[in-house]
Amino acid sequence: MKNFPKALLLIWGMTLTACEGVFQYNPNQVIFKENETNLNQKNIDRIQAIPLKDTVRFILMGDTQRWYDETDAFVKSANSQKDVAFVVHAGDISDFGLSQEFKWVNKIMVKLNCPYLTVIGNHDLVANGPAAYQKIYGPMNYSFEYGHNKFIFINTNSREYVFNGEVPDINWLQSQLADNPENKNAIVVAHIPPFDGDFDPNLQDDYSGLLANDKNVKFTLYGHQHTFKDGEFYNDGVHYYLTTAMGERGYWLLTTWKGGYKAERIEY
């Protein structure tokens, strides 16, 4: 019994080293391991290392929030699709903005046969979500090029910023679309589509107008509404695709080539 404090200290030390995460200090802590940081850029590097083909095939899915069982099933379904270069997560990775949720989703998504990229959703901006998202995934607005495509990821969760006129960042989007000298397919990906009530109504026309007036924009990708939708909602030549939530067990399989694309709705 005399050695009890010593024994306890020893057990404590062993537990600390053996089980990462066994001690938690606050639900809103922002603690990630090295292999859980800056994942978007790391995965862009992986994607750009994949040898180019004439067509680029990728998956659009989203809203994993508190649907871990279904997301796990999604990974199995996605891995059965042929020639998928990467998966795009359209946001609402977490439900409560907790680091723990981001870790769980990443743990599932790394079982994909290909890299995945994310765009931030409104639920990811709750509580310490912004800090957690930026730690694990990186900047909220970013872009990259692969083959004949330029992918532009942008934060459109205006309500989380009390519709302050700065989200989405129209100027940034404009400069990203303008910086496309080779006229690649410009594919804008965001969580909330411009016709949704959570998108800043004062920026809706500017945003949809930017896409409509760019001849390289043929289609654009979203999540948020937990249902499949697609159509030319502004009759301006831009086709909007919304993917459903993981809870509804569905996603889009998209194939692009120079000057064209195909979208298939998959349910699993």
Per CB under 8 A, residues contacting other proteins are: 1, 4-5, 8, 12, 15, 21-32, 66-69, 71-72, 95-101, 104, 108, 126-128, 130-131, 135, 159, 162-163
Q: Minimum distance from CB of 29 to other proteins (Å)?
A: 4
Rank residues 6 and 82 by Cβ distance to other proteins and give the closer one: 6
Q: Minimum distance from CB of 64 to other proteins (Å)?
A: 11
Rank residues 57 and 191 by Cβ distance to other proteins and give the closer one: 191
Q: Minimum distance from CB of 99 to other proteins (Å)?
A: 8
Q: Minimum distance from CB of 41 to other proteins (Å)?
A: 19
What type of residue is 201?
P
Rank residues 9 and 52 by Cβ distance to other proteins and give the closer one: 9
CA distance 147 to 135: 28
Rank residues 5 and 51 by Cβ distance to other proteins and give the closer one: 5
Where b means 16+ CB within 10 Å and e means fewer, 210-234 reads bbbebebbbbbbbbbbbeeebeeeb
What distances in angstroms separate CA 196 from CA 24, 204, 209, one per listed residue?
37, 9, 16
The three-class DSSP label of residue 222 is strand
CA distance 117 to 27: 25
